[in-house]
Amino acid sequence: MKLSLKIIIFLISINGYCQELQEIKNFGSNPGNLRMFYFNPNPDNSIKKPVVIALHGCGQSAENFNKITDWTKLATEENFILIFPQQKTSNNITKCFNWFQEKDFQLNNGENQSVMEMLTYTQKSNATNDSKIYITGVSAGAAMSTAIAYTHPNIFSGICSYAGGPYGIAKNEMSAFRLMNGKLNAEETLAKFEEITNKNNFKAPKLIIFHGKKDNIVDYSNSELLIKQWCTAFQIDSSNTSKKNYYLSNNQITKIDYLVHDTSQIVLYSIENLGHKYLVDPDNKTNSGGGKLNFYSKDLDFFATYYIALEFGLINSKHD
């Protein structure tokens, strides 16, 4: 094989140039100046389908993020619609969503509003099940997902934060780095939670968190802060919990459910010895396996996307 052809194949494998997603150009006023990508495995409008919004991490594109996470695989198997917002380098040179800028994370503003316009466009263009609207993201995408779900609790049934953190605490790059590094004063942070707590008495969207205990990009303490914020904002008693362990190849995942009237309202997947990586299981050919191994992911025989979809109630049968 010629070297040039090998390079092309390599670029396809890491950047996802084999397009699966459709770009929607004119989805709204788009105050956050984002791009919208979309996947509907079955355009039959006789069935009302759930919708999942999936936000990539820094340095990624929508297509690359999809290739790693295999969301379209599960969407095809379970028949739900996907929306992939994509950041532009003109907004953020590292292609991170601006979760730490008030003009982008507040209700009806910036990137927050652009993502909501993508959802509205999808709802108007398709038969959607509006009781099953979900949002998920990784790293900066997780933090922006949290902002969107927190400011629209009446819209979303569930949100997954994968290596993200709490909403509204960081308001510039300096405080964002302090939060990510676990350096913010805990007492000050809790006081801020009280300031921005949810005032509308909406029911909390179910919160799912995945976080590696060895994450050196977004410190594990961010997951603990997010749980405290959710409990404060939505008046959730954090004392009623149940625990389950998954023992994997030289690793362990502990799942903790925070229960409200025996129903799981917050779920934490805590992963030993995992850094800032997405969990995949590419050699598992069943529907509980998938994902692609590259710089952004790690194979621990555990397909995070499957378990996120399972927690959202999008999987018809349980295989854990």
pLDDT tens digit sequence for 206-236: 999 999 999 999 999 999 999 999 998 888 8
More reliable by pLDDT, 17 or 56: 56
pLDDT at residue 108, rounded to an integer = 96
pLDDT at residue 15, rounded to an integer = 44
Going along the chain from its start, the domains and CATH numbers come out as: 22-312 (3.40.50.1820)
Average pLDDT of the residues in 264-291: 95
CB-count burial class (<10 Å; 0-12, 13-18, 19+) for 40: buried
pLDDT at residue 200, rounded to an integer = 61
pLDDT at residue 287, rounded to an integer = 83
Q: Identify which of 11, 118, 109, 106 has the alpha carbon closest to the alpha carbon of residue 55.
A: 118
CB-count burial class (<10 Å; 0-12, 13-18, 19+) for 247: exposed
Q: For residue 187, what pLDDT band results from cuts at 50, 70 and 90?
A: low
Q: How far apart are CA 237 and CA 219, in angstroms?
A: 24
| Close Cβ partners of 240 (under 8 Å, ≥ 6 residues apart) | 258, 259, 260
Q: What's the residue count for the chain?
A: 320
Among 43-47, 93-97, 207-211, where is mean pLDDT lowest?
43-47
Name the DSSP class of 203.
Answer: P
